Amino acid sequence: MTQPIDNSRSRLLPNAVASHLAELCEIAGRYGIRSVAVIGSAATGSFSPDRSDLDLLVDFGDYRPGLAKRAIGFHREVELLFGRRVDVVSMHGLRSPHWKAIHEANKVPVYAAA
């Protein structure tokens, strides 16, 4: 099984997220994803277990035919895993310099393909 990235920032993730990182990495590996980072409230300390969704910044790797199927499958599985709404943001679709800078400063990398 693929293991989560061990870094000092990942230790700050809320338990509702941290407790499922190994499973998240396994799902990402099955869908051929290059990397996953937690962004948004779960990465900045304002996550509410009762109300917050989960935001993931994902690099889907190559954009060959079948990408939509992989993206939809990944999205469905992580929503089932975490039992909450999950917003999946593609790194390649993130065009705003403002949002790129915010996510780069606050992201918590949790998975990188070997």
- Tens-place pLDDT, residues 48-102: 989 999 999 999 988 778 899 999 999 999 999 999 999 999 988 888 899 889 8
Class of domain 10-112: alpha beta
What is the rounded average pLDDT of the residues 1-26?
A: 79
Residue 3 is predicted with a pLDDT of 58
Q: Which residues pair with 40 in a beta bridge?
A: none
Q: Which of 8-17, 68-77, 92-101, 103-112 has the lowest mean pLDDT?
A: 8-17
Query: Concatenated DSSP letters for 37-92?
Result: EEETHHHHT---TTT--EEEEEE-----TTHHHHHHHHHHHHHHHHTS-EEEEEGG
**Residue 53, C-beta contacts closer than 8 angstroms, at least 6 positions apart:** 40, 84, 85, 86, 87
Helix 67-82 / helix 21-30 crossing angle, nearest 10 deg: 160
Q: Inform me whether the pLDDT recorded for 1 exceeds 60.
A: no
Q: Rg for the chain (alpha carbons), in Å?
A: 13
